[in-house]
A and B are shown apart, each in its own frame.
Chain A
Amino acid sequence: QKEVEQNSGPLSVPEGAIASLNCTYSDRGSQSFFWYRQYSGKSPELIMFIYSNGDKEDGRFTAQLNKASQYVSLLIRDSQPSDSATYLCAVNSGGGADGLTFGKGTHLIIQP
């Protein structure tokens, strides 16, 4: 069974600090990795995807992938109160349309 694990939190981070969100996955065949943000009462929206080992940066967000250790992380620099949300890690385990396996999400709170 494909599993994606995240710490549910809440993770509390002071405004302006770096928030670090982690995710592990069970299927070594996983190829693509996604981070979604979900505000309360809203639908998930894509923040970043990554499919190569290493770091990928987009503005204040950096995704990190380590396939050997089967983990992916998301760093948010200069955290803002508007970053307070639930962050969902999603993994594609082999391509094709049967799609993504989601973690249960980490609830992030940015303290002003």
Chain B
Amino acid sequence: NAGVTQTPKFQVLKTGQSMTLQCAQDMNHNSMYWYRQDPGMGLRLIYYSASEGTTDKGEVPNGYNVSRLNKREFSLRLESAAPSQTSVYFCASSEALGGSQETQYFGPGTRLLVL
């Protein structure tokens, strides 16, 4: 099993450009998450999807949109990139059924630089 995969690994954008970060998991997990990680700020939740067909805002959703395409795939879109969105983006998934099944498994991350 590949676990959680993300594409691309690295991307450079100019201010105002758009892009979509892709995430897929092969663990048959119900829930998926997008985080950003900035130096000194820890992991901050952008959006999550509790189950196929649902999405909800996290702590820092402004400037982002998401799509839960099916149970496996959860994409994050930047419509008009800004330098403040320079970050490392992690996708994660979990069973989200309580206890140890709340464990989130992370993808390798996408490093995004907005100039």
Tell yes or no: A88 within 8 A of B by CB.
yes
Q: Report whether B90 and A44 are in contact in the complex, using a CB–CB cutoff of 8 Å.
A: yes
CB-CB < 8 A to B33: which residues of A? 99
Q: In angstroms, how far is the closest chain A Cβ from the Cβ of B23?
A: 12
Q: Report whether A43 and B99 are in contact in the complex, using a CB–CB cutoff of 8 Å.
A: no
Query: Who on chain A is nearest to B43 by CB?
Result: A102
Name B's interface SS: mixed
Report the interface size for chain B: residues with CB under 8 A from the other chain.
27
* Chain A: number of interface residues, binned into ranges: 20 to 34
CB-CB < 8 A to B56: which residues of A? 98
Tell yes or no: B64 within 8 A of A by CB.
no
Tell yes or no: B75 within 8 A of A by CB.
no
Q: In angstroms, how far is the closest chain A Cβ from the Cβ of B91?
A: 9
Query: Who on chain B is nearest to A95 by CB?
Result: B98
> How many angstroms from the CA of A92 to the CA of B98 in the assembled complex?
9
Q: Report whether A44 and B94 are in contact in the complex, using a CB–CB cutoff of 8 Å.
A: no
Query: Who on chain A is nearest to B105 by CB?
Result: A46
* Residues of chain B in range 16-61 having any CB-CB distance to chain A below 8 Å: 30-31, 33, 40-43, 45, 48-51, 56
A32-B100, A96-B96, A99-B48 are known; give 10 further A-B pairs, CB within 8 A: A31-B98, A32-B98, A34-B103, A43-B107, A46-B103, A51-B99, A99-B45, A99-B94, A102-B43, A104-B40
